Amino acid sequence: MSITVDTAQLPMLLGTLRLPTIARLWPDFCSRADKEGWPASRLLAALAELELAEREQRRIQRHLTEARLPPGKTLDAFDFSLVPTLSKAQVMALTQGDAWLKAGHNLLAFGPPGAGKSHAAAAIGNELVARGYRVFFTRTTDLVQRLQAARQSLTLTQEIARLDRFDLLILDDLSYVRKDQAETSVLFELISARYERRSIMITANQPFSGWDSIFLDKAMTVAAIDRLVHHATILEMNVESYRRRSALASATSLRDSAPDPATSPSDIETMPATSLRDNAS
């Protein structure tokens, strides 16, 4: 069987097959293969591997974009020494995702404002996206408003179903949800819909004992907590606010670097170096 090959059509054919990496690289690789005497199988394997590698990178980039993770909140940027109650080994294990995400288990991070809960959640999300999982990060209040709008348009079921494409929903700052019947209801429906199927990570300033201020109905509060903790890992981050520590450190640094108020600017200009050192001490 004879086959007529028109190599001039190769760019068009590769475009039709949606192989942009091979379309870009094949001239150089074919030239190299001719010079080095590669068998056809080696050339084909090399081009196929590069196509798959770049396809994976494009997929990860798409998933990072849709995840809406806050920029710069990575594990490399997280200082575990400032949160001694948080085990780095445990967090690293969670970033593998293979066991708990497939089982629909949850993560719950508790601590005061500024303890690093959002940073830790976003860092875990970044690692999971790099490993092929789909993540969505959102302030809880924003998602609740989105679900309320869906309920008003009679599409709440479809909206919750659309969120099923994400292996992990990160609901940041749960404690800021208002104690309102409409908000409480859609949030509870989301938690119930994902129970034992899809994972949720929640960051909260309040312990469970304070969740009566979030859910209007006591029975609903108990039911929501029960669904979240049934298969959950709890991260305790009860440390002083990082933002407060930074502000205090900056204030101390400015105070220490300020000149002695008893020394005038003209005195400083004419004072010998040895006197400046003595005055600073």
Model confidence over 220-279: pLDDT tens digits? 999 999 999 999 999 999 887 665 565 555 555 556 565 555 554 445 444 454 443 444
Say if residue 164's pLDDT is above 80: yes
Instruction: At 176, list the tokens.
Output: 């800021």
Can you give the pTM of this predicted structure? 0.76
Percent of the chain with pLDDT over 90: 68
What is the model's pLDDT at position 214?
83
C-alpha span between 29 and 149 (Å, rounded):
53
Say if residue 6's pLDDT is above 90: no
pLDDT band, residue 184 (cuts 50/70/90): confident
> By the 8 A CB rule, do 233 and 199 touch?
no
Q: Where are the alpha helices (DSSP H) in 156-272?
A: 156-162, 181-194, 218-229, 242-257, 265-270
What is the model's pLDDT at position 269?
46
Over residues 30-39, the pLDDT tens digits come to 999 999 999 9
pLDDT band, residue 149 (cuts 50/70/90): very high
Strands 232-236 and 106-110: parallel
What is the model's pLDDT at position 244?
57
What is the model's pLDDT at position 281?
42
What is the model's pLDDT at position 215?
83
Say if residue 49's pLDDT is above 90: yes
What is the model's pLDDT at position 185?
86
More confident residue, 205 or 274: 205
